[in-house]
Structure 1
Amino acid sequence: MNDDAKQVLTSQQVNDQAPVGWREVNGMLCTRLITKDFDQSLRLVDEIATAADEANHHPDIDLRYGWVGLRMVSHDVGGITSRDIQLAGVISRLADDREVEHAPQVPTAMTVGINTADPDRIRDFWSALTGHAPAPHDSTSLPSPDGQMPEIWFQVTDDPGEGGPFHLDVYVPHDTAQERVDAVVAAGGRLVTDEYAPAWWVLADADGNRACVCTWQPHN
């Protein structure tokens, strides 16, 4: 494997190079393929698995009736690389051959933020409760143990009660973020600040509980 294949791409590079129908969501290259039924989903996954074996690079696959979800990242270097872009292109061609449509606006990821003045004081509690093991060399993060559960992270603050002790970070495709924010406000939410948009918007429900809509984009 050459050095270029191990080079982590910037989010802007991913956006520029990703095949049509793919988006970066929370550090992973994602799409959803819409199928006619479970049988077509299964046959498509079988073809994707063969292509992944040939590339020696494997996506996370969510097999469902009517759709196949795909997420990719180069775990060995901790980011999206040209290997992910290339395999996404192969998968897109397989989907096109079967006349399967992409739904790139659908993939969403969530993390749970816990406000605390001292992560060391509460980390073991949350690790024991949820089964999340602490991240190596990162005292503020409890990664998902299997990729299915949200990451838990500790937001260090002098006022843990500000905005509530918990908040959700909801990661969406960058080109759907404003639509999601508008929908939240229309549903009775309040925009606390868009100071950091388009990286994230801080919102609150009628009781003051906060959440953020997040994208890969840097804030202004």
Structure 2
Amino acid sequence: MNDRISPREFHASEGVSDWRVVFDGARAHFSSGSFEKGAALVFAIAELADAAGHHPDVELRYSSVTVRLISHDVGDISRRDLALAQRISEAADELGIAADPSRVQVVQIAVDALDIPRVLPFWEAVLGYRQDGDEDVVDPLGHGPNVWFQQMDAPRPQRNRIHIDVSVPRDEAERRVAAAVAAGGRIVNDAFAPGYWTLADPESNEVDVAPWRDDSD
């Protein structure tokens, strides 16, 4: 079933103000305030997911619940994710649990490599991860950030070749960049903004801040 939906279409739909599309799907962070209320929301999500035949990733913490939706058969978000997101938000509202979209983010480690097939197995082994496609290794338990390998065309001395990617909602990205600059960082490259900004700390270690993907992605 190819019912893929673009991030722009997702965000333009009714009933998804709790949700933001980032690197790895649509996410929502619900501030439950207690483990008991969070567990009640997780139970409601489980019932909705079983009824829909479509299951999200859910993380229950003492005072919050984080939910990720993605359709693995299309490799992206779909209308199934949209429908389930709407129902989950309705369930959270009925339980009196509010969402905090500013807490949505995904962190990944990016490694620039000249020979990805040689470099990738090392990181897969040392982290205890598993390979996912030709350019990623992922935590099979879903706890740690994934590692993405970016193809280099030529050696690049005098500059770090490992950086962090932080995917945040589009309406959060500029605030996050401004906070990083105020904390002593600097903007290295904003030519692709608002797609992404490259920042560096005071010792020139780099991080990319990128919002949810454009409709063209």
Which TM-score applies when normalising by structure 2? Answer: 0.92
Q: Say whether residues 1:132 and 2:142 are aligned partners.
A: no
* 1:49 equivalenced with 2:46 (yes/no): yes
AA matched with 1:201: W
Identify the residue that residue 81 of structure 1 maps to in structure 2: 78
Cα deviation 1:60-115 (Å, max 9, x = unaligned): 11101111111100112211001111111111111111121111111111111112
Matched, 1:38 2:35: yes
- In structure 1, the residue matched to 2:192 is 196
Aligned pairs, how many? Answer: 213
* Unmatched runs of 5 consecutive residues or more in structure 2: none
1:156 is matched with: 151
> What are the within-5 Å matches in structure 2 for residues 106-185 of structure 1?
106-136=103-133, 138=134, 140-157=135-152, 158-161=154-157, 163-185=159-181
Verify: 1:209 aligned to 2:205, yes or no.
Answer: yes
Aligned-residue sequence identity (percent) comes to: 35
Q: Distance in 1 between matches of 2:92 and 2:149?
A: 39
2 CA distance for matches of 1:192 and 1:105? 24
Given the superposition, is the C-alpha separation of residues 90 and 195 from structure 1 closer, same or farther in structure 2, using an over 3 Å criterion?
A: same
Q: Determine helix, strand or coil for the equivalent of 2:50.
A: helix
How far does the alpha carbon of each residue in 1:133-164 deviate from its partner, in whole angstroms, 9 at most, with x for none? 2223x2x2223323322111122222344531
Partner of 2:21: 24
Q: 1:42, CA displacement in angstroms?
A: 0.8
Cα distance, 1:127 vs structure 2: 1.2
Measured after TM superposition, the shift of residue 217 of structure 1 is 3.7
Report the Cα distance in structure 2 between the residues aligned to 1:201 and 1:56, rounded to whole angstroms.
38
State the partner residue of 1:7: 3
**Cα RMSD for the two superposed structures:** 1.7
Q: Which amino acid aligns with 2:161?
A: P
CA contact (8 A) 1:38 1:65 kept: yes
**What are the ranges of 5 or more consecutive residues in structure 1 without an aligned counterpart?**
none
Q: Secondary structure at the match of 1:105?
A: helix
TM-score, structure 1 as length reference: 0.91
Q: Distance in 1 between matches of 2:176 and 2:213?
A: 15
- Give 1:218 shift: 4.0
> Which runs of structure 2 are paired with 1:53-64 in the superposition (5 Å)?
53-64=50-61
